[in-house]
Copies of this chain bind each other. A is one copy, B any other.
Amino acid sequence: MIETPYLLFLGDAPDMLAAKVAQGIKDWRPEYALGQLRLDGCKADMGLPDMTLAEAKAAGIKTVVIGVANRGGVISQMWKKVLVEALEEGFDLASGLHNLLRDEADLAAVAKATGRTLHDVRIPSVKYPIANGEKRSGKRMLAVGTDCSVGKMYTALCMEKEMRERGMKASFRATGQTGILITGGGVPLDAVIADFMAGSIEYLTPDNDPDHWDLIEGQGSLFHVSYSGVTLALVHGGQPDALVICHEPTRAHMRGLPGYQLPSIEAVRDVALTLARVANPACVAVGVSVNTQHMSDPEAKAYLAEVEARVGLPTTDPFRYGAAKLVDALEGI
């Protein structure tokens, strides 16, 4: 686990989009996001207090999180200067960059000398078990998608927020880099060795209170030929009680696969349920989550109504219109 609270390092972000990790932390764990650190030329702003490292220390911050993508596949000297200072001041560092912090000789040396931790969340830090398939206590929801990057993480986070507001016991369970940085822990599933994928998800979602829900971040799609194996490990390792089907209706083709059309919501529901019921015969599909960001408000509402009527499941865009419908459906289980 990454120690909180965080100082969000925005570096010299060229725009807000480059800082989407910081944005995710600020949106979903505002209690962790006490300040931001921006370098000359930074065009991103989370609306948080700008802090020096000394101010961050005084505020009780434990970890400097790299909340911005780097450019050109290198960690610049300008960044390095601040990151080395942060280690020297006693902060841990956390990063989801492809370039690992541990592979930078200077950062590794200073971390070792100061006894600080470099969290490279793209790489598993745990030796996961092989899945045993045994029934666990507590309840689990898994977001499954018609495609990659259709809003599975946001769906689970929106549901967690709504459930906590209702006083329900709920934990978002991160399976990707951004989710891990947002919550401080999780499984970087795409980097796990094949034999241990399902076991890593069992490890992530252990026995819990009977009325506790794990809200598991989905990855890939059973219909995305590059990553479908990762998705099936989530379906079987997560042994979900409930599936929410996630969809983005304006895609011309599967992400990164020009020759592949998106499957229907119904096709994903049917094959996902068939496979999920191997691990949990009681699994049901409870709702549909649509990412309507590329639609106007009237278009989005008409589309949601059409899907709800056609598929016969509560349908919403939880980020735009709230997750109440989806959580209502969970409450019935």
A-B contact pairs, 8 of them (CB 8 A): A194-B194, A194-B233, A195-B230, A198-B226, A222-B275, A223-B278, A228-B233, A229-B233
Q: Given known contacts A194-B229, A198-B228, A225-B236, what 6 new A-B pairs fall within 8 Å (CB)? A: A133-B226, A195-B226, A198-B226, A228-B275, A229-B230, A229-B231
Taken together, the copies of this chain in the complex come to 2
User: What does the 1/0 interface line of A237-250 toward B look like (CB < 8 Å)?
Assistant: 10100000000000
Q: Report the count of interface residues on A (CB-CB < 8 A).
A: 41
Interface code A194-211, partner B: CB below 8 Å = 1, 0 otherwise?
Answer: 110111000000000000
Q: Is A279 an interface residue (CB 8 A)?
A: yes
Contacts of A239 in B (CB 8 A): 225
Instruction: Please name the residue on chain B nearest to A190 by beta carbon.
Output: B195
Query: From residue A185, how far is it (CB to closest CB) to chain B in Å?
Result: 19
Contact present for B233 and A131 (CB under 8 Å): no
Residues of B near A225 (CB, < 8 A) are: 131, 133, 198, 236-237, 239, 278-279
**Of B134, B135, B194, B227, the contact of A230 (CB 8 Å cutoff):** B194
Q: Which residues of B contact A135 (CB under 8 A)?
A: 259
Whether the Cβ atoms of A198 and B222 lie closer than 8 Å is: no
Q: Which of B130, B226, B230, B232 contacts A199 (CB 8 A)?
A: B226
Cβ-closest 5 pairs across A and B? A229-B233, A225-B236, A229-B229, A190-B195, A133-B225
Q: How far is the CB of A242 from chain B (nearest CB, A)?
A: 18
CA distance A190 to B135 in the complex (A): 24
Within A246-262, the residues touching B (CB, 8 Å) are 256-257, 259-260
Asked whether, in the complex, the Cβ of A228 is within 8 Å of the Cβ of B232, the reply is: yes
Residues of chain B contacted by A274 (CB below 8 angstroms): 271
